Amino acid sequence: MSEENPGVPDSGAGDDGPAGGVIRVVVVDDQTLVRMGLRTLLEAEDDTELAAEAADGRDGMDAVRRTVPDIVLMDIRMPVLDGLSALREITAEPALSDVKVIMLTTFELDEYVFESLRGGASGFVLKDSPPEELLHAVRVVAAGESLLSPSVTRRVIEQFSSREAVPSPTAHPELSRLTDREREIVAWVATGRSNDEIAAELVVSPATVRTHVSRAMVKLHARDRAQLVVFAVQSGLTLPG
């Protein structure tokens, strides 16, 4: 059964989102202690609040539809409806298009990490991450970025490559929508670098990188940077080495 924060009205469809200074979060995890810890963490901060919590994916989906939060912290393995299935439901519903999902996992090399990203997750965090890292994850994703470090994206690429033959970029007609510079930028995004880091590598301004990233996202219908990473991996548009 899901539980709503009594201080948050049922009809709050994101009105108090990041633009208003408060990031509304739904926590979905079957472990009571995990939910309690995240609840305490979120309620202790001025810019985050718990909109609702649930112990399984089905109740979690009910809570997400009722509250339409900014962020969902979603466990991958749960009863009734697993996190991947719930994630796909969220990304498939137009009314939830602004809801960002961060997957919670126990292991960095969780076999479902790539599937989570492919399904529309904006990133993932370890359940035993320090509090400051969990809060950083929520804030970064709420600001429109993806939570993908270079080490994580490298593992994603390696995991994908070990299971499937890496295709040739020429095999993906979607790439024809991108300029050469946009392709290069997307390939750099797939390394997990930030805009500032990419700008330093290419000796351009961060604003230029942001512009290319935004245009690529529009052309590829990508929800966020995480989806650009998935596209780059699936299309073979990655940097060597």
DSSP 9-26: -TT-SSTTSGGGT-EEEE
* End position of a domain, from candidates 94, 115, 147: 147
User: 94 and 171 share a domain?
Assistant: no
User: 142 and 177 share a domain?
Assistant: no
Q: Give the total residue count for the chain.
A: 241
> CA 18, CA 22: separation in Å to the nearest integer?
5
Three-state SS string over 43-57 comes to HCCCCEEEEEEECCH
154 is a domain residue: no
User: 116 and 176 share a domain?
Assistant: no
Q: Which domain holds residue 214?
A: 166-235
199 is a domain residue: yes
CATH code for position 180: 1.10.10.10
pLDDT tens-digit readout, 147-167: 665 556 666 666 665 555 455
Please give the tally of structural domains in the chain: 2
pLDDT tens-digit readout, 159-207: 665 555 455 545 567 778 899 999 999 989 887 788 888 999 999 999 9
User: 105 and 221 share a domain?
Assistant: no
* End position of a domain, from candidates 147, 179, 207: 147
159 is a domain residue: no
Model confidence at 8, pLDDT cuts 50, 70, 90, reads: very low
Give the other-Cβ count within 10 Å of 131's Cβ: 13
Selection from 101-105, 190-194, 235-239 with the highest mean pLDDT: 101-105
Contacts of 84 (CB under 8 A, 6+ apart): 76, 112, 115, 116, 119
156 is a domain residue: no
Model confidence at 16, pLDDT cuts 50, 70, 90, reads: very low
CB 224 within 8 A of CB 144: yes
Looking at per-residue pLDDT, the higher value among 79 and 54 belongs to 54
User: 22 and 110 share a domain?
Assistant: yes
* End position of a domain, from candidates 147, 179, 195: 147
Q: What angle do CA 63, 69, 74 make, to 5 degrees?
A: 65
* Structure-derived torsion over alpha carbons of residues 42, 45, 48, 54, reported in degrees to the nearest 10: 10
User: 122 and 186 share a domain?
Assistant: no
158 is a domain residue: no
Is the pTM higher than 0.75?
no
User: 196 and 101 share a domain?
Assistant: no
User: 124 and 185 share a domain?
Assistant: no
142 is a domain residue: yes
**pLDDT confidence of residue 113:** 73
User: 41 and 134 share a domain?
Assistant: yes
User: 53 and 82 share a domain?
Assistant: yes
**pLDDT confidence of residue 48:** 96
Take residue 107 and report the two structure tokens written for it: 């292991």
DSSP 137-149: HHHHHHTT--B--
User: 216 and 125 share a domain?
Assistant: no
CATH code for position 37: 3.40.50.2300
Which runs of consecutive H residues, i.e. helices, occur in the chain? 32-43, 57-67, 83-92, 113-118, 131-142, 150-163, 180-189, 195-202, 206-220, 225-235
User: 130 and 176 share a domain?
Assistant: no
68 is a domain residue: yes
153 is a domain residue: no
